Amino acid sequence: MAPRGRTLLLPLAAATVLVASTIFLFAAVGARWRPADSGLPVPPHHAFPTAVPATASSSNATTANKELSFLDENGQPDDPSSASASRSASASTSTSGTGAVRCDPRAAAAIKVFMYDMPPEFHFGLLGWSPPSPDSVWPDVTPGSPPPRRYPGGLNQQHSVEYWLTLDLLLSSSSLPPPCGRHSAVRVADARDADLVFVPFFASLSYNRHSRAVPPDKVSRDRALQEKLVAYLTARPEWRRFGGADHVIVAHHPNSLLHARAALSPAVFVLSDFGRYPPRVASLEKDVIAPYKHMAKTFVNDSSGFDDRPTLLYFRGAIYRKEGGSIRQELYYMLKDEKDVYFSFGSVQDHGASKASQGMHSSKFCLNIAGDTPSSNRLFDAIVSHCVPVIISDNIELPYEDVLDYSKFSIFVRSSDAVKKGYLMRQLSGVSKQQWTKMWNRLKEVDKHFEYQYPSQKDDAVQMIWQALSRKVPTIKLKVHRSSRFSRSDRGK
C-alpha cells in the first residue's frame, strides 16, 4: 500500500477503537444503573402503560356519546341505577389484568382543581339536602351510592351548570386513579398544587329560588348568601394569594351573582353570555361561555334527513321580549303566514319542551333569536334536535367557539338583514339539500358537546367546559407573574 494510504488508515482505525470502547463503557454502566432519587429498580419494558387500541365498535361509541344524565329535561331521573352501574363499569374497564391503569399517553392531562369545602347552604343545601353528620359537607358519590339530590326541572335546569361541575369534581376525587378519559379536571387537596380554584356556589339556583325577600326579612336569602360569599372568599389565603385571578365562579343565569359580581370580578366567571355584564367585570378574554342544559330530548339514532322534515323553519317560545328581544315580534309578524314556517308562542307551563322537541325534530331550520339577553336555551335545543340553527343575535357569544366552528352547522343572519322583507326566506330556500345534509351530519357529530351528564363522558358539556377553563390557565399565570414583578423585588429590600 502506498505511504499516503497508510497515513489515512491510521486515524480511521484509531477512531474506530475509540467509538467501540465508548459504547462498551456506556453499556457496562447502564447495566448497573438505578434511579438514584427513588431507590427503585428500573421496571421491565412491558411494565410501562401502553396505549389502549381503539377496538370499540362504532355502535358502542355512539351509545357512549348518547348516554344521557339521570335527569330528563323536566328534572326527573331517567334511570338512577344505570348511572351508578355506568360509574362502576367504567372504573373496572379502565384497568388491565394487573390492575394498572392503561391510558393513551396522547390524551391531554387533566387540570388540577382545588374546591372549597364550603357549607352546604351554598350548594346542595339549596336543593334541600341535609348533611348526615356535622362534619359532612358533601353528598356521597362513591361507586354504588345512591344518586345525589337531583336538580329541579323546568326553567331552573337550563342554568344548572354549577351543579354538574361540582358533581364532576366530587366524583374525580372519589375514584383514584380516575378511569382513562373520564376527567378533564381532577380535584386536589391543596390549593398550592392546583391550576384553578373552584367556588361551589349554586348561584343560578340561589337566584331562581331565593331572590325575593321573605317577610320579616328585608334582605333576600340570595343576596345574603352573596354577601357571605364575598366575605368568605376575600378572607381566604387562596383568594389573597393571587387576588382571586385563579378562582372559577359559575353564574350562568344572567341575573345571578348580581350583588357580588363586581367584588368578585377578578375571578373567571362561567356565564351564558355578557348581556348584563359591563366589560370591566366580564369579557371573553377572562371568562368562559357555557351552554345551557337543553330542554328538548336529544334525537338519538336520527335518520330523518332533508325530505323527512316537512317544516322549513321552526320557532316556539316567548315572542314579546324586552331589551334586545324586540326583534322577535318583528319577525313574528313577518313570518307567521309564510308557507312551511311554524312561528308560535310557547312556554314550559304548556308542555313547551315536549312540543318543541317534536317540532324541531320535524324541521329543517330552527330560529334562535336574541331575547332579553343575546343567548337562549333554544339554540342548544336545536343542536340536539339536529335542526340547523339560524342564529339572529348580533352580540351572542358561543361556547367553546375557539375550538368549534359553528358556521359548519349553523346559519348566521345579521339582525338588520333579518327584518328586511323576504330576506330570510330567500336565504333559507336557497340552501340546497346537499348543503343542508352536510350541516345536519355535522350536528350529529357535535351534539355530544352539549350534553350535561353524570358521570361525565369524554368531550361532553362538562368536560368541554373544563377544557375551556384549562385554556385560560396560561393567561391567568401570565397575569399573576406580571403582577408579581415588583412585589418580589420589594421583598428583597
State yes or no: cis peptide before 177, omega within 30 of 0.
yes
Q: Torsion-angle region of residue 183: left (phi > 0), alpha (psi -120 to 50) or beta?
A: beta
State yes or no: cis peptide before 455, omega within 30 of 0.
yes
- For residue 38, pLDDT over 80 is answered with no
- For residue 469, pLDDT over 70 is answered with yes
Is-contact 269 239, C-beta < 8 A?
no
A 10 A CB-CB count for 196 gives 22
Using CA atoms, how far residue 358 sits from 50, 353, 482, in Å, is 46, 9, 53
How far is it, in rounded angstroms, from Cα 202 to Cα 249?
9
Fold of 311-450: Rossmann fold (3.40.50)
Residue from 257, 299, 309, 313 nearest 282 by CA: 257
pLDDT of residue 466: 98
- For residue 102, pLDDT over 50 is answered with no
pLDDT of residue 80: 37
How far is it, in rounded angstroms, from Cα 25 to Cα 32?
12
Q: Which helix (H) or strand (E) holds 199?
A: strand 196-199
pLDDT of residue 345: 78
**Rounded mean pLDDT, 255-259:** 97
**Rounded mean pLDDT, 130-134:** 91
- For residue 441, pLDDT over 80 is answered with yes
Tell me the average pLDDT of the chain. Answer: 80
Using CA atoms, how far residue 56 sits from 60, 61, 86, 104, in Å, is 6, 7, 16, 15
Burial environment of residue 391 by CB neighbours within 10 A (0 to 12, 13 to 18, 19 or more): buried
Strand 388-392 relative to strand 363-369: parallel, antiparallel, unpaired? parallel
How far is it, in rounded angstroms, from Cα 357 to Cα 179?
34
Residue from 222, 192, 194 nearest 207 by CA: 222
pLDDT tens for residues 218-255? Answer: 999 999 999 999 999 999 999 999 999 999 999 999 99
Confidence of residue 413 (pLDDT cuts 50, 70, 90): very high
- In 114-255, which ranges are continuous DSSP H helix? 161-172, 203-210, 221-234, 237-242
- pLDDT, greater one: 60 or 466: 466
Q: Give domain limits for the chain.
A: 111-289, 311-450
Total residues found in the chain within this entry: 493
CA 151 to chain centroid, in Å, comes to 18
**Rounded mean pLDDT, 198-226:** 97
- pLDDT, greater one: 451 or 90: 451
- pLDDT, greater one: 335 or 351: 335
- For residue 470, pLDDT over 50 is answered with yes
Look at the block and give the residue holding cell 315536549.
Answer: 354
pLDDT of residue 144: 83
Burial environment of residue 112 by CB neighbours within 10 A (0 to 12, 13 to 18, 19 or more): middle
Is-contact 366 389, C-beta < 8 A?
yes
- For residue 475, pLDDT over 60 is answered with yes
pLDDT of residue 163: 98
Burial environment of residue 28 by CB neighbours within 10 A (0 to 12, 13 to 18, 19 or more): exposed
Confidence of residue 474 (pLDDT cuts 50, 70, 90): very high
Residue from 444, 431, 450 nearest 364 by CA: 431
pLDDT of residue 350: 55
Contacts of 140 (CB under 8 A, 6+ apart): 146
How far is it, in rounded angstroms, from Cα 298 to Cα 112?
31
Confidence of residue 89 (pLDDT cuts 50, 70, 90): very low
Which cell goes with 420?
328586511
- For residue 460, pLDDT over 80 is answered with yes
How far is it, in rounded angstroms, from Cα 294 to Cα 311?
21
Is-contact 447 426, C-beta < 8 A?
no
- For residue 40, pLDDT over 90 is answered with no
Confidence of residue 425 (pLDDT cuts 50, 70, 90): very high
pLDDT of residue 145: 87
- pLDDT, greater one: 280 or 91: 280
**What is the arrangement of strands in the sheet containing 311-317, beginning at the earlier edge strand?**
341-345, 311-317, 363-369, 388-392, 411-412
DSSP string, 303-344: ---GGG--EEEEEEE----SGGGGHHHHHHHHHTTSTTEEEE
pLDDT tens for residues 52-72? Answer: 333 333 333 443 344 334 344
Report the range of poorest mean pLDDT among 30-39, 267-276, 407-416, 471-480.
30-39
pLDDT tens for residues 274-314? Answer: 999 999 999 999 999 999 999 999 999 999 999 999 999 99
